[in-house]
Amino acid sequence: MVNRFFALAPRIIFLLPLAFLAVFYFYPLASILAYSLLPNGALDLSGIREIFSDPYYLGVLWFTTRQAVVSTLLTLVVAFPAAYIFARFRFRGQSFLRALTTIPFLMPTIVVAPAFIALLGPRGLLNLVLMNMFHLDAPPLKLVGTIGIIFIAHIFYNYTIVLRLVGGFWSNLDPQFEESARVLGANRLRVFWNITLPLLAPALLAAALLVFIFDFTSFGVILILGGARLATLEVEIYRQTANLFNLQLAAVLSLLQITFTFIFMLIYTRLQARLALPLKLRPQNVTRRAVKTAREKILVATNLAAMLLFLLTPLALLVLESFDTPGGLGLAYYAELGINRRGSITFIAPTDAIRNSLAFAVITVVVAVSLGLLAAYSIVQARRGTTLRDAIYLLPLATSAVTLGFGFILALGRPPLDLRASFWIIPIAHTLIALPLVVRSLLPLLRDIKPNLREAASVLGASPLRVWREIDLPIVARALVVGAVFAFTVSMGEFGATTLVARPEYSTIPLAIYRFLGQPGLMNYGQALALSSILMLVSALAIVLMERFRAGEVGEF
């Protein structure tokens, strides 16, 4: 198909996103590979052998897997009832409530961790209530630093994946399968066990695998809530790099992490393709029914109430406690953010962190959206190799943030490309993480534009540039906004990669929060809460904006 707009633009600009990935993704990845397997220029597998023979690292690996498996199973169980409610019932505010569940998922980890400290920590609400009720001198719940709080945070995070993937699939499932089983004499339990559950299996598996990948590579939650004893692979890479400067060991661990996530992603995409049952999907207005009987009303209401309580309490509490100063409710923690008390050079005022974060976010939006647009066009326009290109642009999503950051340290910290002290290394890292999301949100709409719409416009007298403006732009505009918001939120909340590559003077909001959390004293804790609240508010606003533009189910998960 001759698309004349693209005949205008030199084809070479469509190679820009690929060049970006080559330099800032594949090169760092190759550096990790080289550093771990060829530390002295020759193949040396002793690093890998060392890890697999040291009980400590085996322990880390075992813990990483165990917490991910248990978190995933718990998430499935906890979110399943809501998936059912959303799939089979029709009630007011349904789409708004579903949108609300996305907020935790898109929240920066650095906000979620303090939110759970505000709820379950030694000074958290739950402990305060218990201490008051039973006149205790010490907080009775000691959850911080245990695996329990990690499970809770992971469920909180990934709840919406199960709700959307399982609930979405379920809502298109023909109720006639279940009805015919009932007519054939099966009781409700048999129907669920023999009909519903097997039919849902593909969606359940896909959701489980996706949740598992996120839990396996969990970083911020574990780093902050897990305390000093608990470490996942991701946290261990960070510690080896940032605290112990053992780059070779970190490289081997990163290689391990990359291998695992790639295998999981591969299984995920394979499963999605293979498990697609040839089902005739039904529109949701057929499969959903209104809530009628009292029993159903109670069922729906209690489920939704529990869901909202679980998803909103930690975030609400975070904001609440950020105003709860020793001198009563007030803005003391917020006021403190602007003051540099220690006067030290390494201390970066939180206001500077906010300014940095905004600057990085704006750059990330511009670069990621431009590159994403080019990448999406090059995928859609490609005569062959569409799936390959698609997969290449998806890869950064399958690489954990800390691994990316570590790759940057190895590859971009020395000639020929030394960006160590550069301001740009941060927005580049953020762009890398945001790019797959931008491409994902653009692709479906771009694929849907029939080429003959452009041809029709052209025959009617529209110049190539005009065709793009009149046809492409209005159709993908919403997706562009969604992509931009994705990029903005990712950049504002990114923690894992930034914490490894950012120089102190380029500190961002998440880094500032992390630093406050690591320092003793109520004032530091309060400032962490205040900054988290600000970040949460910004992210929430962005998400609400995005949901407004998303309309329906545009954008692939």
Partner 1 sequence: MSLLKVLHVFKSYDGAPLLRDVSFDVGAGEIVCLLGPSGTGKTTLLRMIAGLEELEAGQILFESRDVRGVPVHRRGFGLMFQDLALFPHRSVYENIAFGLRMHAQSLAEQEIRARVEETLALVGLDAARFATRDVNHLSGGEQQRVALARSLAPRPRFLMFDEPLGALDRILREQLVVDIRELLKRIGMTALYVTHDQEEAFAVADRLVILNEGHVEQIGSPPEVYHNPANTFVARFLGLTNLLDGQVIAVGDGLVHAATALGAFVFYSDGTARVGDEGMLLLRPRALVALAEPGEEGDNMLRGWIVESTMRAGHTRIVLASDEHRFTFEWDGVERVGERVTCKLDPAKISLLELSVKSAS
Q: Which residues bind partner 1 (CB under 8 A)?
A: 2, 4, 450, 452-453, 455-464, 466-467, 470-471, 474-475
Specify the residue, 48 or 554, whose C-beta has the smaller distance to partner 1.
554
Nearest distance from C-beta of residue 66 to partner 1, angstroms? 51
Specify the residue, 328 or 474, whose C-beta has the smaller distance to partner 1.
474
Amino acid at residue number 298: I
Question: What whole-number distance in Å separates Cα of residue 220 and Cα of residue 495?
Answer: 7
Nearest distance from C-beta of residue 24 to partner 1, angstroms? 35
Specify the residue, 42 or 459, whose C-beta has the smaller distance to partner 1.
459
Asked if 245 and 257 count as a contact pair (C-beta separation under 8 A), the reply is no
Specify the residue, 240 or 441, whose C-beta has the smaller distance to partner 1.
441
Specify the residue, 388 or 460, whose C-beta has the smaller distance to partner 1.
460
User: Containing H/E element for 426?
Assistant: helix 425-448
Other Cβ atoms less than 10 A from the Cβ of 398: the count is: 19
Nearest distance from C-beta of residue 548 to partner 1, angstroms? 18
Specify the residue, 70 or 449, whose C-beta has the smaller distance to partner 1.
449
Nearest distance from C-beta of residue 384 to partner 1, angstroms? 12
Q: Where are the alpha helices (DSSP H) in 38-54?
A: 46-53
Region of 279 (left: φ > 0; alpha: ψ -120 to 50; beta: rest) is beta
Nearest distance from C-beta of residue 372 to partner 1, angstroms? 21
Specify the residue, 150 or 476, whose C-beta has the smaller distance to partner 1.
476
Q: What would the DSSP string read from start to end of 334-362?
A: HHHTT--SS--SS---HHHHHHHHHHHHH
Half-sphere exposure of 11 (CA within 13 A, CB side): 4
| Closest among 306, 279, 25, 58 to 175, alpha carbons compared | 279
Judged by DSSP in three states, 54 sits in coil
Specify the residue, 378 or 458, whose C-beta has the smaller distance to partner 1.
458
Nearest distance from C-beta of residue 2 to partner 1, angstroms? 6
Q: Phi/psi of residue 324, each to 5°?
A: -90, 80
Question: What whole-number distance in Å separates Cα of residue 72 and Cα of residue 83?
Answer: 15
Judged by DSSP in three states, 328 sits in strand
Nearest distance from C-beta of residue 471 to partner 1, angstroms? 7
Asked if 339 and 550 count as a contact pair (C-beta separation under 8 A), the reply is no
Region of 44 (left: φ > 0; alpha: ψ -120 to 50; beta: rest) is beta
Nearest distance from C-beta of residue 361 to partner 1, angstroms? 30
Question: What whole-number distance in Å separates Cα of residue 210 and Cα of residue 161?
Answer: 8
Asked if 492 and 481 count as a contact pair (C-beta separation under 8 A), the reply is no
Nearest distance from C-beta of residue 452 to partner 1, angstroms? 4
Specify the residue, 381 or 524, whose C-beta has the smaller distance to partner 1.
381
Half-sphere exposure of 480 (CA within 13 A, CB side): 14
